[in-house]
Structure 1
Amino acid sequence: MEKYSKIFVAGHRGLVGAAIVRCLKEGGWSNLILRTHANLDLTDPSQVEELFSIEMPDYVFLAAAKVGGIHANNAYPVDFLVDNLSIQLNVISSAYKYNVKRLMFLGSSCIYPKHCPQPMNEEHLLTGSLEPTNEPYAVAKIAGIKMCEAFNRQYETDYISVMPTNLYGPNDNFDLHNSHVLPALIRKFHEAKVRGDKKVLIWGTGKPRREFLHVDDMADACVYLMNKEGYTDMVNIGVGEDVSIAELAEIVANIVGFEGCLEYDTEKPDGTPQKLLDVSRLSSQGWRAQISLKDGIQQTYKWFLENQGDIRGQNI
């Protein structure tokens, strides 16, 4: 990407989009096209086409999506399927119509089968049944991947799909009902410490294992891969290491300073037993994560404390 290129970051106020914007600005790319949901509804094809026809972006990062944890996916399956399919169809189709040089579609590690061999590599896609609790979201993301592959095959476009592992960091959603596990734990332990609670209840058994990547590392990988013109293979983005939810909870409790005990609500669903990405394809391209889990959680908790009044989910 040339420094003067026009770059559209769809979803720039979300966890991933905001990190991509930070990374681009730090790298000297300043000609950015950014729109809030109030100014651009990505599920509306006419609004999306109007943006592309006026702005004519050179590059697109498709980081916009409806996302959430187990509860949200269970409660709103239609929203997760329809909204994400609409966003992807509108943006990718307009990118082709208005001759975007390169598009990056951000998927999710939940695209892989529930009982996928570990670590999960890119070849495991569509080799088994999905985790039921997030199947609608996963189906939408798989459709986005296949759209990019189809456009590349039929029209010789230059679209790439990247599959991040579980992400966390600044601008995350800290809603106790609709967020992912790590930001929910940060908020839960913080509020328990403030109240002086003696214990904190954790969803599930604590046994499932998850991989966590700081969103600034994710953004760095995205910009790195976007600059590899002509490289269109689907790519996992992660650290290649995982921890159990119980281990994660202990780490977060220690960083937040919660001194009570941890109890587990085994009536709540665990989700997929393990989600660890094979990142050898990414490593072969010369990129590795730099931020350790403990350092990343410390940075995220510091951001949480400094931005509590503006944090998503904080006032629910």
Structure 2
Amino acid sequence: MPGPDSRIYVAGHTGLAGSAICRRLEAVGYRNLILRTHADLDLTDERAVERFFAAERPSHVILAAAKVGGIAANAAFPTEFLSVNLRIAANVIDSAWRHGAAKLLYLASSCIYPRLTPQPIREEALLSGALEPTNEAYAIAKIAGLKLCQAYRRQHGFDAIVAMPTNLYGPHDRFDAESSHVLPALLRRFHEAKEAGAPDVTVWGSGTPRRDFLHADDLATACLAMLRGYSDAMPVNIGSGSDISIRELAELIADIVGYRGAIHFDPSRPDGTPEKRLDITRITALDWYPAIDLRRGIEQTYRWYRENCARETATV
């Protein structure tokens, strides 16, 4: 278990998951966080990563850095989603082991599960069926990272563990049109429609897929629970334990934003996986439970968006 003086490197600390993890670590008294922006350290550069670990020698590593995006971005840039995430995982995991890190926590993703699998999804479902084509490149890279963690554990005794977060949202999310996921994309779209007085908003897909959404701050507490009390090759699902349809999500966001126009769905656009809800038995066994309900979490995220992003995204 990391002590308050442990040197903890959080890779990807400016992103949605990484920033939430940093906030939580600092809130409970961890004082020696090691942080680098992409401008300071390119994690796809093997030699740069090696030099960083040789100089800093963190005792614990949380690998939250990744190239991420929604359906449109994954469809447009499969090469980058596969190659960038493969290199990040390979470079960080190897250097962490070589330079004596006591533990590494790798953030995979629930999108690596098969497209069609019994709900709620148990960790054993991994690689039991075909992937969802709309995010296949990203999923393959994340599966490779997970398997690297298991290989280093088996071959070298490296205490590399894997968290499998569901769809995340919260402060520091991406709200741009090209790379945002569904929840922040809808927040932006309904906000801008309200500001413009638009009579209707069109949402991609049929609205029928169901998704499990978790606030990034809840993910952060789960990650800390894993750092403190988990050591096993089996990945651990981290989700809310419930789900909501995209139609219901759109209606909820419209209500929170205060948008009163019509909502249309475009079934010619891809839906992605029909249903995705995680079994969270393993993480709750560590005495962790989600604390932020979806409405309250979206309200908080919308306040953050208005204060930090609304003017900027309106001009994009």
User: How many pairs were matched up?
Assistant: 315
Structure 2 CA distance for aligned equivalents of residues 274 and 142 of structure 1: 20
Q: What is the CA deviation profile of residues 86-134 of structure 1, one whole-angstrom value per residue up to 9, with x for unaligned ones? A: 0000000000100100000000001100001111110000000000110
TM-score under structure 2 length normalisation: 0.98
Deviates more, 1:86-95 or 1:173-182: 173-182
Match of 1:42 in 2: 43
Q: Secondary structure at the match of 1:262?
A: strand
2:276 counterpart of 1:302? no
2:46 counterpart of 1:68? no
Q: Do 1:200 and 1:260's aligned partners in 2 also have CA atoms closer than 8 Å?
A: yes
Match of 1:227 in 2: 228
Q: Do 2:166 and 2:238's aligned partners in 1 also have CA atoms closer than 8 Å?
A: yes
Which amino acid counterpart does residue 186 of structure 2 have in structure 1? L
Q: Do 2:225 and 2:286's aligned partners in 1 also have CA atoms closer than 8 Å?
A: no
Pairs within 5 Å for 1:88-167: 88-167=89-168
Tell me the percent identity.
54
Structure 2 CA distance for aligned equivalents of residues 243 and 78 of structure 1: 31
Cα pair distance change 1:314/1:140, threshold 3 Å: farther
Q: What is the CA deviation profile of residues 153-196 of structure 1, one whole-angstrom value per residue up to 9, with x for unaligned ones? A: 11111110000000000000001232100000000000000001
Q: Secondary structure at the match of 1:227?
A: helix
Q: Do 2:123 and 2:234's aligned partners in 1 also have CA atoms closer than 8 Å?
A: no
Cα pair distance change 1:310/1:201, threshold 3 Å: closer
Pairs within 5 Å for 1:141-220: 141-220=142-221
2:79 counterpart of 1:78? yes
Deviates more, 1:223-232 or 1:201-210: 223-232
Residue 310 of structure 1: how far off its partner (Å)? 8.4
Structure 1 unpaired stretches of 5+: none
Match of 2:8 in 1: 7
Structure 1 CA distance for aligned equivalents of residues 183 and 304 of structure 2: 14
Match of 2:20 in 1: 19
TM-score under structure 1 length normalisation: 0.98
Which amino acid counterpart does residue 2 of structure 1 have in structure 2? G
Match of 2:287 in 1: 286
Which amino acid counterpart does residue 116 of structure 1 have in structure 2? T
Q: Do 1:19 and 1:215's aligned partners in 2 also have CA atoms closer than 8 Å?
A: yes
Which amino acid counterpart does residue 121 of structure 1 have in structure 2? R
Residue 294 of structure 1: how far off its partner (Å)? 0.2
Cα pair distance change 1:229/1:264, threshold 3 Å: closer
Match of 1:262 in 2: 263
Structure 2 CA distance for aligned equivalents of residues 310 and 158 of structure 1: 44
Residue 18 of structure 1: how far off its partner (Å)? 0.4
Q: Secondary structure at the match of 1:3?
A: coil
Q: Do 1:174 and 1:314's aligned partners in 2 also have CA atoms closer than 8 Å?
A: no
Q: Secondary structure at the match of 1:161?
A: strand
Residue 281 of structure 1: how far off its partner (Å)? 1.2
Q: Secondary structure at the match of 2:299?
A: helix
Q: Do 2:221 and 2:288's aligned partners in 1 also have CA atoms closer than 8 Å?
A: no
Q: What is the CA deviation profile of residues 41-90 of structure 1, one whole-angstrom value per residue up to 9, with x for unaligned ones? A: 00000110111000110000000000000000000000000000000000
Structure 2 CA distance for aligned equivalents of residues 188 and 309 of structure 1: 11
Structure 2 unpaired stretches of 5+: none
Structure 1 CA distance for aligned equivalents of residues 247 and 56 of structure 2: 48
Residue 232 of structure 1: how far off its partner (Å)? 4.4
Cα pair distance change 1:310/1:121, threshold 3 Å: farther
Q: Secondary structure at the match of 2:229?
A: coil
Structure 2 CA distance for aligned equivalents of residues 277 and 39 of structure 1: 36
Match of 2:241 in 1: 240
